[in-house]
Amino acid sequence: MGHHTQFIVGISGAVVIITLLLSACRDKGSPAPIARAYESYLYQSDLDGIINPDISEADSANMVNAYIEQWQRQKALLHHAQTNIKIDVKQIEKQIDEYRNSLIIYELEQALIKERLDTVVTEEEIANYYAENEDTFILKRPIFKVSFIELGSDAPELDRVKKWFASDELESRNLLRQYSQNYSTNYSLSDTSWYYLEEIAKKVPIKQIDENNYRNYGHIFQINENNKIYLIILRNSKFKDSRSPLDIERTNIRNLILNWRKIDLINREEKEILENARNNNKIEIYNQ
């Protein structure tokens, strides 16, 4: 007589009972399926690699149930399609072959790039590309160079701090840095990077500065907000439709140069492969 064993696993608060029928007529060495969909069976070995040993038993059960549900869904849809829709099998096989061929060629291209692509891009190459493509790098949003200090509403010696902040003298800078370390948790005194308005607005209330003052460089704007005092100096700015500075575009240009090199490398290698095949009489066109 046969018998069956039950494994109970939970998913989203429900209980799913997976019944494994171990028939007496089955060979003792034959594995028992854990799920069926029409004439297809899913076995425990099919779950290899599905479960992460580092996750909890409950999470493992959820993953198994989700996998089984997806497997049965796919099988049910395939069965319905094959029995209810006229399928052009030859066309599907042709598409599969084309996709397979594309994948193989893609792997060849990736191997060529990995082995032969020169990834060193010099500053001179970047500067030349930037100079030769003036109309390519146009800003779509304003950008700024900004220095700022965020202080509590009770911060001491504010007038002296403003004098230090506006000064270019080394002693004033050192005093300002020491003061900021003692009284500010968020400050940027000498950052020369460009930032979009939205990026700076996450740190300081720069949007309270009127756009007419965006070129008022070196002026200290004081903004009081949420029991905080913000001291802001605009160091530089560029507006929408003006040329984007090289500092912002450097990484983009490097990627563009590398992408051009990839395309050139692949085209040259493909041309060489094709010419070799033609010279060795491996490819030919017959008269129609």
Please list, in sequence order, all residues whose beta carbon lies within 8 angstroms of the beta carbon of residue 67, skipping any fewer than 6 positions away: 47, 50
Lowest-pLDDT choice from 4-18, 57-71, 228-242: 4-18
| Secondary structure (3-state) at 246 | helix
Does position 8 have pLDDT exceeding 80, yes or no? no
Burial 173-210, CB ≥16 within 10 A → b, else e = eebbeebbeebbeebbeeeeebbebeebeebbbbeebe
What amino acid occupies position 9? Answer: V
Q: How confident is the model at residue 28 (pLDDT cuts 50, 70, 90)?
A: low
Nearest Cα neighbor of 236 from 191, 198, 204 is 191
Class in CATH terms, 139-238? alpha beta
Segment 245-258, tens digit of pLDDT: 999 999 999 999 99
Per-domain residue ranges for the chain? 3-84, 88-124+248-270, 139-238
Does position 265 have pLDDT exceeding 80, yes or no? yes
DSSP per residue, the chain: --EEEEEEEEETTEEEEEEEEE-TTS-TTSPPEEEEETTEEEEGGGGTTTS-TTS-HHHHHHHHHHHHHHHHHHHHHHHHHHHHS---HHHHHHHHHHHHHHHHHHHHHHHHHHHH------HHHHHHHHHHTGGG-B-SS-EEEEEEEEEETT-S-HHHHHHHHH---HHHHHHHHHHHHHH-SEEESS----EEHHHHHTTS-GGGS-GGGTT-TTPEEEEEETTEEEEEEEEEEE-TTSBPPHHHHHHHHHHHHHHHHHHHHHHHHHHHHHHHHHHTTS------
Q: How confident is the model at residue 87 (pLDDT cuts 50, 70, 90)?
A: confident
User: What is the pLDDT at residue 72?
Assistant: 96
Q: What average pLDDT does this structure show over 263-278?
A: 96
User: What is the pLDDT at residue 53?
Assistant: 81
How many CB atoms lie under 10 A from the CB of residue 157? 11
Q: What average pLDDT does this structure show over 112-122?
A: 96
Please list, in sequence order, all residues whose beta carbon lies within 8 angstroms of the beta carbon of residue 201, skipping any fewer than 6 positions away: 207
- Tokens of residue 95, six digits: 């598409």
Q: What average pLDDT does this structure show over 151-171?
A: 94
User: What is the pLDDT at residue 89?
Assistant: 87
User: What is the pLDDT at residue 19?
Assistant: 41
Q: What average pLDDT does this structure show over 30-46?
A: 92
Does position 190 have pLDDT exceeding 90, yes or no? no
User: What is the pLDDT at residue 50?
Assistant: 82
- Quote the pTM value: 0.66
Q: How confident is the model at residue 31 (pLDDT cuts 50, 70, 90)?
A: confident
